[in-house]
A and B are shown apart, each in its own frame.
Chain A
Amino acid sequence: MALKQYGYFPGCVAQESCKELDLATHVVAEKLDWELIKLDAASCCGASVVNDMNRHLARMLNARTFAEAEALGLETVLTICSTCTGHMRQANHELLHNERYMKDANDVLARFGKKYSGKVETKHMAWILRDDIGIANIKKMVVRPLTGMKIGAFYGCHVLRPEEYAASGEDPRNPHNMEDLILALGAEPIVYEGRTRCCGFHIQLEKEEVTVNMVGQNMAMARDQGAESIVTGCPLCHLALDAYQTKSLDTAFGKTDLPVFHLPQLIALAFGVAPEKLGIQKHLTDASKVLVSAGIA
C-alpha cells in the first residue's frame, strides 16, 4: 500500500509538448511512495479558453472530471499545472456556490450514469508537498543538495489568483511555498518581483511580441536579483519562459538565458536522479552550464 493516493490529472501539455514534466512527476511520486491514479477518461480543464466561449461547458467538463475521481473513491486530485489547478478550482467553486450550476452539470452527467456530489478538491503538487508531506520531510530526503544554485520561483498566475478560489493557503502577493521548497532542496531562493506575474503564454498566438516582452520583463527582474535559473509549477509558463527567452534579446529588457526547471525535475535532482532521466535536455534554454557548476552534471 502506497503512503498516499491521489487522483492524478497531468493536464494536456504535460502529455503533449512537456512530457518531461509528467515523467519527472512520476519519478518524484515513486520516491515519495505516492500512488498516482491517473484520471484516464478526464478531459482538458478548458483553461481560460473555454471560459471565453461557454462558461457552462467549462463547469460541466470539469464536473465530469470530478465525477471520475469520485467514482474511484478519490477526494484529492493532484495537478502539476497552475492553469489546470486554477480553472478546475474555479469550476468547482462555481459548482459549489450555485445550486443551479451543480444541477445543470449533474443533469448532463446523469445521461451517462455519472454524478458529482461536490467532494473533490483540486490541489497543485506544490501544495500537496507542503501540506501532506511537509517541507521539513522533503529536506530530509535530499541526497544531493542543490548547493550553490540561485533559483527564482515562477508561480504561475492561476495558483495565486483570483484569491477567492485559488486559495493557495498563503498570501498570494507575497507567497513563499516555492521558495521554501527551493531552500529545502539546498539551493538559494531568489526573490524578485516578477515571480507572481504573468508569463504571457495565453496570448502568444494573439501577439507573440507581447509574450516575448512579458517573458523578457519577468526574466530580467529575476536576472537582476541574481537568479541563475528558474523553477515553475506550470508547464505553460515553462513553455513561454523556456522558448521565448532567446527572443527576449530583442526587447528593452536585454538578454536572459535562465534555464527553466519544472518543479518535480528540481526535486528529483535533489533526490539524486540524473538530469537526463528527467528530460531536462529537452528544454530549449540550455541547463547544462547551471547543472555543471552545481556539480550535478
Chain B
Amino acid sequence: MLVNLEVQRFNPEQDAAPHVESFEVDVPDGSTVLEALMHIKDERDGSLSFRRSCRSAICGSCTMSMNGLDGLACKTPIRQLLSQFGESGVADAKPHETISSHAGQAHFGAAATAAPVAGAAVPSSSVAPKTTNGKSVGTVRVGPMHNLPIVKDLVVDMTRFWEKNKSLKPWLVPKNAPPAREYPQSPEEMERLWRPANCIFCGTCYSLCPVVSVDDTFVGPAAIARVGYRFLEDTRDGARKERAETIVEQNLWLCAHCYACSYCPKHVDPHELIALSCVATIEEGVTDNTGARHAMVVADTIKKTGFLEESQVIPGTLGYFNLIGLSSVMPLGLRLLLKGKMPPLLMRPVPRVTEIREIFKAAEAKRY
C-alpha cells in the first residue's frame, strides 16, 4: 500500500528548528509505522533517526507521536491510524470507516491519545496534509514523543525521565534478612505486582501527561506506577512508609486524574496504579499534605451530607488556618460570590444519609 508519511525532522547540526518532510512509500499492507520508517531509512534516507530494537513491543524504544497519538511505532499499524483519522491524518471530529486489511487491525486496545505539548514542535493540525495524487491510502504524521527535549529527528533525550524514575528509589529494600530460599509470596501478593511488572519504560504515559507538559516537578505516571506503586505493594519490601513519603514529595498528588495514561501499550494502566498509590500513602499515614487532606475532607463531607460540599472542601484542603493559601483563593471566591455562583455554605443532607454512613463503615473496614 502507498502511504504518505509526514515526518518531523530536526538535525541540530544543520537546523534551527524542526520541519516536516514528506515521504510517499510503498509498504506491505498491514505494516506498522515502524516498518514504514525502517523502509524510509533503508531505501530513501539513511539519515532519518529513530530508536528501535525489538520490534515486538517489549524494549520500549520506539515511542513517538503518530497523528498526535503517542505510542509504540512497532505496535501501531498504519491502517489503525487511518481508521481513526481518515486519510488526512488529522483529527477532524468526523467518523471514519475502519479501513481494515485483516482482522488484526480491529484490535488496538492500546496505542495512544491526543496530547501535543508545549516545547515539542509537532506537525500541528493546522498543517494541511499534502495531496498524494489520490493513490496513497492516507497520511501518517510522525513526530518525537512529547515532554522531553529532541536530540535529532524522532530521538529525544530521556535523561529527565530516568531521573524521575530513580528519584523513587527503584530497588527492593528488603524487609527481612534474606532466607536461605526464596521469600515466600502468595500468588495473590504477586498478582498485585503483575501490572507494574509489565511496564517497559517506553515513556508513552510520560509523553501523554498534560501535567508533565506544564510542570516538570511532577514525577510522572511511569515512575509512580512502575517504581512507586510496584515497591509500595511488594510484600518483601521494608521501606513502605519512607516510600510513601518520598512519592508524596515527588508530587504524587499532582496527578490530574485525566486518564491520558490509560493509553498504555502494555496495559499497565498507570492511572489505576496512581490511585492505588494515593490509597497506600494515606494508609501509611502520610496525610499532612494537600492531596490527602483533600481526599479526606471530600470523603468527610460525603459522609455527613451525601454531597461533596464545595464550600467545605477548599478550607478543609488548604487548612482552615492556612491564611496564605486561603487568601490566594479569595479573589476567585469573591468573584464567584459577586456572580451569584458561591456554593451554599451548608448542604442539606440527602434523604436517608444514615445509609451512606453505613456504607462508610463497611468500606473502611476493608483493605483496598
Contacts and interface: CB of A to CB of B under 8 A. Distances in A.
Nearest to A174: B91
A48 interface: yes
Contact of A112 (B96, B352, B360): B352
A115 interface: no
A47 B125 contact: no
A57 B114 contact: no
B125 A214 contact: no
Interface in A195-210: 195-198, 200-203, 205-210
B98 to A, nearest CB: 10
A12 B344 CA distance: 11
A176 B86 CA distance: 13
Nearest to B325: A205
Nearest to B271: A162
Contacts of B342: 17
Contact of B257 (A17, A19, A61, A202): A202
A243 interface: yes
Task: Classify chain B: how many residues form its interface, as a range.
Answer: 35 or more
Nearest to B92: A191
Contacts of B290: 205-206
A174 B352 contact: no
A107 B113 contact: no
Nearest to B98: A171
B308 interface: yes
Interface in A136-179: 153, 157-158, 161-164, 170-176, 178-179
A13 interface: yes
B327 interface: no
Interface stretch (A26-34, A38-46, A119-127, A263-271): A38-46
B256 A203 contact: yes
B363 A54 contact: yes
Interface string B299-312: 10010001111110
A220 B5 CA distance: 28
B156 interface: no
Contacts of B314: 205
Contacts of A288: none
Interface stretch (B31-39, B128-136, B183-191, B274-282): B274-282
A281 B347 CA distance: 24
A52 B278 contact: yes
Interface string B307-323: 11111011001100000
Contacts of B85: 174
A193 interface: yes
A213 B214 contact: yes
B358 A112 contact: yes
Given A48-B257, A158-B259, A193-B114, A284 B339 contact: yes
Given A112-B352, A161-B262, A191 B91 contact: yes
A208 B318 contact: no
B269 interface: yes
A15 interface: yes
B215 A207 contact: yes
Interface stretch (B193-201, B220-228, B328-336): B328-336
A262 B88 CA distance: 31
Interface in B70-114: 84-85, 91-96, 112-114
A5 interface: no
B118 A284 contact: no
A13 B308 CA distance: 8
A48 B275 contact: yes
B210 interface: yes
Given A13-B310, A42-B306, A214-B210, A193 B258 contact: no
Nearest to A157: B258
B308 A12 contact: yes
B308 A47 contact: yes
Interface string A46-74: 11111111111100110010000000000
A210 B317 contact: no
A48 B271 CA distance: 10
- Between B269, B342, B343, B351, the greatest number of chain A beta carbons within 10 A of the residue's beta carbon is seen for B343
A127 to B, nearest CB: 15
B93 A206 contact: no
B194 to A, nearest CB: 16
23 contacts: A12-B308, A16-B307, A44-B298, A44-B306, A50-B302, A52-B279, A56-B362, A64-B356, A173-B84, A174-B114, A189-B93, A197-B210, A198-B256, A200-B211, A200-B256, A202-B257, A205-B290, A206-B254, A210-B214, A210-B218, A217-B213, A243-B332, A282-B341
Interface of B: 68-69, 84-85, 91-96, 112-116, 118, 124-126, 210-211, 213-215, 218, 251, 253-260, 262-263, 269, 271, 275-276, 278-279, 282, 290-291, 294-296, 298-299, 302, 306-311, 313-314, 317-318, 328-329, 332, 335-336, 339-344, 347, 350-352, 354-356, 358-360, 362-364, 366, 368
